[in-house]
Structure 1
Amino acid sequence: MFETIDVLKAQLDALRPLPTNSVRSLHEATVLEWTYHSNAIEGNTLTLKETKVVLEGITVGGKSIREHFEAINHREAIEWLESVVARHEPFNERLIKSIHQLVLKNIDDTNAGRYRQENVITAGAEHRPPDHLHLQPLMVELVDRYQNQKYHPVERAARLHVDFVGIHPFVDGNGRTARLLMNFDLMSSGYLPVIIKVEDRLAYYEALDKAHTSQCYQDYLTMVVEAEEEALKRCLSIVD
C-alpha cells in the first residue's frame, strides 16, 4: 500500500536540496490550501481566494471575526509546527495543547489548550466520545501508544489522527488540531503534509466513524495515502 509513495519520496529526496523559489511557492500554496480546506471542513465560509486575502491582512466584508481568526490562527499553527519539526521536538501532551491553543486563540481563550470539562456528542456520528473524567489517562495512553508504534510512518500519522479525534479531548477545534497533528507526524518523518479536501468531507467523516466504531482504519488510511501521493507528485512536477 505504501510502495508508490515511498518510491515518490525517494525520488524527491534524491533531488534535494530543492530549488529555493520552487519550494517557496509550493509552501505558500500548501499553507493556503491546507488552511482553507481544514477550516471549510469545519464550516468556515471563507472561499479559497478570501482565505488568501485574509492571510495577506485584508478584512473580507460580510465574514465573521471568528472566520478571520480561524484562517490567521491556522497559518500560525502551521508555521509553529514547522519550527517544532525543524527542532526535532517529540510528540507529547504539551505539543497537543500548544497546537490547540493556537487554533482557538482569540476565539475561545478560556478553552484554548485546555481539555474539556464536560461531555460532548459528535453530531451525525455513531461514535460517542469518552466521558471527560477519563480524558487525562486516555491522552497519556495516546502518547504512549504513538511512541511505541511500529507502523509505517504514514499509517502511524493516520492512526494518530483517528485515535485523537475519537477521544475528542477539547470542546472545539478537535478536527483542525487532529489534521495538524497528523501532518506534524508526516513532516517529522520526512513526508509532505497532506490536505483533506472539503469536497471529501462526507467520505472523511464516514471513514473516521467507521474506524471509531469497528476499529477498521483502512478507509481513512487509504484516503491519507492517496493525499500523500498527490502531494508528492505535485511537488515533483514543480522541482523535477
Structure 2
Amino acid sequence: MDMESTERHAGEILFTDERNRFALSKAVSRGRLRRIARGIYTRSRDEPSAVVRRNLWAIVGHEFPGAVVTDRSARRYAPDEHGWLTVVHSRSRPLKLPGVTIVPRRGSGPLFSDNPLPFGVWGASPERGLLENLGARSGGPTGRYLTVHEAEAWIVDLAAQSNGADRLNDLRDRARQIASTLGRDHAFDRLTSLVSAALVTGDASAAVSDALRAWGQGEPFDRTRVERFTALRGMLNDLAPEPLPTLLEDDARRALLPFYEAYFSNYIEGTEFTLDEAAAIVFDDAVPPNRSEDAHDIIGTYRLVADAQERRRTPNDPEDFVATLLARHMTMLEARPDALPGRFKDRANQAGSTIFVAPDFVEATLRRGFEGANGLIDPYARAVFMMFLVSEVHPFVDGNGRIARVMMNAELSAGDQVRIIIPTVYRLNYLAALKGATHNNQFDSLVAMLRFAQRYTARVDFSDRQSAERDLAATSALRDPVEAEDYGVRLKFPGGV
C-alpha cells in the first residue's frame, strides 16, 4: 500500500483515547460509526476488510508504533494469502482485524538499511528480510517465516532485475553489516552461499530450489510461468477425453482446410487479405508487390499446415521441441529479417498488460514447460497445453500466435483428431480466454473456447471454396470481431446445429 492512498483514506479510521472514548461510543450507538476492533472505528460503510486494507499502515502505526514489517511479510510489505502481517515490536499480543491479523515478535528495531513506510512503520530491507527468514528454525506457508524455496525464489527475482548482479553484491555487503545485530551470523553464511550460486561464482548445488539451481547453472527460467504450466497440466490431466476423430470418409471435406487455417491464423494477427487475394497468393503465387512480406507470412504458414508429414510432426523431448519451434519459425517468417526468423527474441515483448517471458529466460522456460506435457495422453489435452505454452512464453519477436496454433494442431493431427481454426469473428473470444488463463489461471474457459472452435471446424465443408465460404458466411465467421461484439453476433455451427 503506498503512502498516497493511505493518506487519502486516513480519515476513515478513528482511534479511541481518554478524551474521545465516550463520544465514539455514542456515535456507534447512533449508527454514525462502526467498530472494527477494540479501540478502532470507521465512518465508512464499505466492507470492514476493505477499510482495513486501505488504512493498514495507519492502524499498524497506531497499534504498533515503530514496528518493522519483516519475516514472511518482508517480501511484499503486505499480508500473506492467509491475512497475516508479521512485524517486530515489543507488543506481544496479535491484533486480529477483519481480513488481517498483525502478528508481532520481539527483535531489533529499525536498522539503517530498512525502508520507511507511512505512519512511522518500517519495512525490513531485502537483506534483513532474507537473513531473518533464512535464520528461522522453521518456515512454511502457514508459519511466520518463508520456506527455503520461497527465500531462494526471492533471490532469483532479485538476480533477474536490471543490474541484478550488482544488486546482489550490494545486498550481501549490507547483510554482512547487520547480521550480528540481528543475531543471524549463521544465516549470513547461508545467504552468502545462495548469492554466490545466483552470481554463478559458487556451487549451484548449495541451492535447494530448482529455480535458483537452474539460475546458477546458467539456465534461468520463469518460475511463475512454469508453475502456471504445472497448474494447467493438473487441470488437463483431470479432463475427461471427448475425442473428435478425423474420419477417412471426411478427407474430401478437409481438402482446403490448410488454406483456411493459414488464412485465419494470419488474419487474426493483423495480416489481412480478402479470401480471393489470399487464394491468389497461395495457389497462383500472385504476390502483391506492395505487400510482399505479408503475402509470404501466409505462404509460410500454409507450407507448414499443408505438408502432410510436417503438420502432424510432434517433438519427442525438450531439445527436439526447441529445434522444432525454431525450424517452423524460420519457414513461416523467412521473408521478414526484422522478425529474426529461426531465432528467439532478443528484446522483451508484451501485449497490453501481459509482459511475456524475458529473453534470457525463454529457452529454459520452454524446456521446463515442455517437460510438463509428460503424462498428457489425450491429443486434445496436449494440444491445449502446447498452444498455451508457446503463447505464454512468446519466444519470438513476431509470429508467436501463429506458431502456437501450428504446434497445437500438430498434436491433434498426430492423434488423428480434427484440427482447430480460429475464425475472424472468434478472435476476441480467443484472446479473452488466453488472458484469463494468463492472469487468473482460468483454464476452463481456454479449454471450452478451443473445444467449441474444434467442433466448429469439424462441421464446415472445406471440400472447395464455394462450399467452405458458404458455410463461413452463414456462420458469421468472416465478420469483424469488434463489430460483431457490438451487434451481438456470435460464431455459430453450420446449419444452426
| Aligned mate of 1:27, from 245, 255, 258 | 255
Q: Does 1:138 align with 2:365?
A: yes
Q: Does 1:227 align with 2:456?
A: no
Distance in 2 between the 1:54 and 1:236 partners? 18
Overall identity of the aligned pairs, in %: 22
Given that 1:135 and 1:167 are in contact with CA atoms closer than 8 Å, whether structure 2 keeps it comes out as yes
Given that 2:339 and 2:398 are in contact with CA atoms closer than 8 Å, whether structure 1 keeps it comes out as no
Determine the structure 2 residue equivalent to 1:170.
396
Q: In the superposition, relative to structure 1, how do residues 85 and 179 fare at CA in structure 2: closer, same or farther (>3 Å)?
A: closer
Q: In the superposition, relative to structure 1, how do residues 58 and 84 fare at CA in structure 2: closer, same or farther (>3 Å)?
A: closer
Determine the structure 1 residue equivalent to 2:274.
47
Higher relative contact order (CA 8 A, sep 6+): 1
Higher strand residue share: 2
Q: Does 1:67 align with 2:314?
A: no
Alignment of 1:1-240 (within 5 A): 5-6=242-243, 8-9=244-245, 13=247, 16=248, 18=249, 23-24=251-252, 26-28=254-256, 30-59=257-286, 61=288, 64-80=291-307, 82-84=308-310, 90=316, 92-108=321-337, 111-122=340-351, 124=352, 126-146=353-373, 148-150=374-376, 152-234=378-460
Any idea what the Cα deviations from partners look like across 1:150-207, whole Å, max 9, x if unmatched?
3632122112211211101011100110010000011111102110112111121111
Which AA in structure 1 matches 2:267? Answer: A
Given that 1:93 and 1:143 are in contact with CA atoms closer than 8 Å, whether structure 2 keeps it comes out as no
Structure 1: 5+ residue stretches without partners: none
Distance in 2 between the 1:2 and 1:232 partners? 20
Determine the structure 1 residue equivalent to 2:481.
none
For the residue of structure 2 that corresponds to 1:56, the secondary structure is helix
Tell me the CA shift for residue 59 of structure 1.
Answer: 2.6
Single out whichever of 45-54 and 164-173 deviates more from structure 2.
45-54
> For the pair shown, which has the larger CA radius of gyration, 1 or 2?
2
Given that 1:104 and 1:112 are in contact with CA atoms closer than 8 Å, whether structure 2 keeps it comes out as yes
Any idea what the Cα deviations from partners look like across 1:125-160, whole Å, max 9, x if unmatched?
x321021111121011122112x1336321221122
Distance in 2 between the 1:45 and 1:87 partners? 28
Q: In the superposition, relative to structure 1, how do residues 127 and 151 fare at CA in structure 2: closer, same or farther (>3 Å)?
A: farther
Given that 1:149 and 1:156 are in contact with CA atoms closer than 8 Å, whether structure 2 keeps it comes out as no
For the residue of structure 1 that corresponds to 2:372, the secondary structure is helix
Any idea what the Cα deviations from partners look like across 1:62-86, whole Å, max 9, x if unmatched?
8511121111111111134x31366
Structure 2: 5+ residue stretches without partners: 1-238, 468-497
Distance in 2 between the 1:86 and 1:78 partners? 9
Q: In the superposition, relative to structure 1, how do residues 156 and 42 fare at CA in structure 2: closer, same or farther (>3 Å)?
A: same
Single out whichever of 200-209 and 59-68 deviates more from structure 2.
59-68
Number of residue pairs matched?
Answer: 223
Distance in 2 between the 1:66 and 1:182 partners? 24
Given that 1:210 and 1:217 are in contact with CA atoms closer than 8 Å, whether structure 2 keeps it comes out as yes
Q: In the superposition, relative to structure 1, how do residues 233 and 2 fare at CA in structure 2: closer, same or farther (>3 Å)?
A: farther
Any idea what the Cα deviations from partners look like across 1:24-69, whole Å, max 9, x if unmatched?
56222x1121111101011112112211111122436585111211
Distance in 1 between the 2:385 and 2:451 partners? 12
Given that 2:418 and 2:454 are in contact with CA atoms closer than 8 Å, whether structure 1 keeps it comes out as yes
Distance in 2 between the 1:38 and 1:85 partners? 14
Q: In the superposition, relative to structure 1, how do residues 61 and 119 fare at CA in structure 2: closer, same or farther (>3 Å)?
A: closer
Q: CA RMSD in A?
A: 2.7
